[in-house]
Amino acid sequence: MSSGGLRQPVIAHVRVRPGTSEVLYRRLHEQLHDFSPMVQLLLPSAMVVDLSAAPRYFGRSPAALAAQIRLRALAHHGVDTRIGLSPAWAVSAMASSRPEDNGIRTVHPDAVPRFLGPLPIGALYGITNVQARTLVNYGVQHIGLFAELPEATAQRLLGGRAGRLLHERSRGIDRRAVVPTGLAATTSARRNFPTDTLDPDVVRAALLGVCVELGERLRRHHRAVARSLTLVIVFSDRTQLVRSRTLPEASAHTEDLRDAAYALFGQLGLQRARLRAVALKVEMIPAGRAMEQISLDPAREARRRIEPVLDRINARWPGTAAPAAAYRPAS
């Protein structure tokens, strides 16, 4: 695909290998500011950059700038990146997951239908497994077929807002602007299984144990709350699957972290996958910056009130108090 001739806007989606250390991620984030101040983080393994003004400023084509970004990342930090270029965020994200041999894919405005059309519906940026299965059940197996549907039909199948949003993306329309963000403070915990496991109960027990650890750490050590949560699944062949979710309400309560972790794991549908480890990472903000609504559920309020007591017990006798379901064979 030709790399020249892209017109504004120019959005670059920069993808790094899952599991890249936070130190290297921070260095790449800083390096991207040499090309544009408009860099938005997509934790844990991507960033999106508005390069609209960069070609004129540097006197180079978007593809040439992308090649320079890749070269610098590899030469200075040993980070291999994949970059998608297009006028729309979602299209660039799909392009970065299907790079050409040079690690870059440029999708010009007039080539968007040709690029997106043959892709399986599950490749549409932002679509969930459930939404993809719904469309496949109706015979919509490719993005191009979905783009040809009337928007009203897409909304009936997937819901009003979700149907409209995904239908726009299937036609290469993404109205989001790049909003510069900095790296937030994070904390993480991991559980390794003694042997690779297929048992979802063992995995859920490990996730619960991780949530207990992270919740206590947030409340006692950081005096912070979690704004988002990232689940990392490590398979038996050491490959990783990473999924993130922003919490409906920033929280340091164990059950809120647990519910989000279970929901992320449940969406993956890993009934036949052998897992070696699970990890959770939370993005923290100071507790004073978060507003907590009073729950009208007496049982939930009781569980929240007992958390400080359990924290004090575990501070004196580590690991003494935890949900019984968390005690499963994971180390």
**pLDDT by residue for the chain (331 residues), tens digit each?**
444 444 579 999 999 987 787 778 888 988 999 999 999 988 778 999 999 999 999 999 999 999 999 999 999 989 999 999 999 999 999 999 999 999 999 999 999 999 999 999 999 999 999 999 999 999 999 999 999 999 999 999 998 999 999 999 999 999 999 988 776 678 889 999 999 999 999 999 999 999 998 998 888 766 788 989 999 999 998 888 889 988 888 888 888 999 999 999 998 888 788 999 999 999 888 776 555 555 556 766 667 677 776 777 766 676 666 666 665 554 4
Q: Quote the pLDDT of residue 204.
A: 92
Identify the three-state secondary structure at position 305.
helix
Contact 140, 110 (CB under 8 A): no
pLDDT of residue 52: 94
Strand intervals (E) in the chain: 11-16, 39-42, 46-50, 81-86, 104-106, 186-197, 224-235, 240-251, 275-286
Which residues on adjacent β-strands are paired with residue 106?
Answer: 85
Tokens 């490749």, residue? Answer: 123
Residue 249: the pLDDT is: 87
Given this model, what pLDDT does residue 294 score? Answer: 56
In order of their start, the domains of the chain are 1-111 (3.30.70.270), 117-176 (1.10.150.20), 186-326 (3.30.1490.100)
Q: Please tell me the predicted confidence (pLDDT) of residue 331.
A: 46
Joined together, the tokens standing for residue 319 give 């690991």
How many Å apart are CA 35 and CA 53, to the nearest integer?
9
Q: What is the pLDDT of residue 293?
A: 57
Contact call for residues 319 and 213 (beta carbons, < 8 A): no
Phi and psi based region of residue 148 (left: phi greater than 0; alpha: psi -120 to 50; beta: remaining): alpha
Structure tokens at 66: 């992308």
Radius of gyration of the CA atoms of the chain, in A: 22
Give the tokens for residue 286.
């100071």
d(CA 48, CA 164): 23
Q: 292 and 251 in contact (C-beta within 8 Å)?
A: yes
One-letter amino acid of 203: V
pLDDT at res. 6: 46
User: What is the Cα–Cα distance from 319 to 167, expressed in whole angstroms?
Assistant: 49
Answer yes or no: are the C-beta atoms of 41 and 183 closer than 8 Å.
Answer: yes
**What phi and psi, each to the nearest 5 degrees, are found at residue 222?**
-100, -15
Q: Backbone phi, then psi, for 133, in 5-degree steps?
A: -65, -40
Q: Can you give the pTM of this predicted structure?
A: 0.59
- Cα 211 to Cα 137: distance, rounded to the nearest angstrom: 36
SS3 content of the chain, % helix, strand, coil (to 5): 45, 20, 35
Instruction: Kindly list the distances between the CA atom of residue 67 and the CA atoms of 37, 50, 100, in Å, as whole numbers in the listed order.
Output: 18, 16, 12
Give, to the nearest 10 degrees, the angle between helix 129-137 and helix 254-268: 30
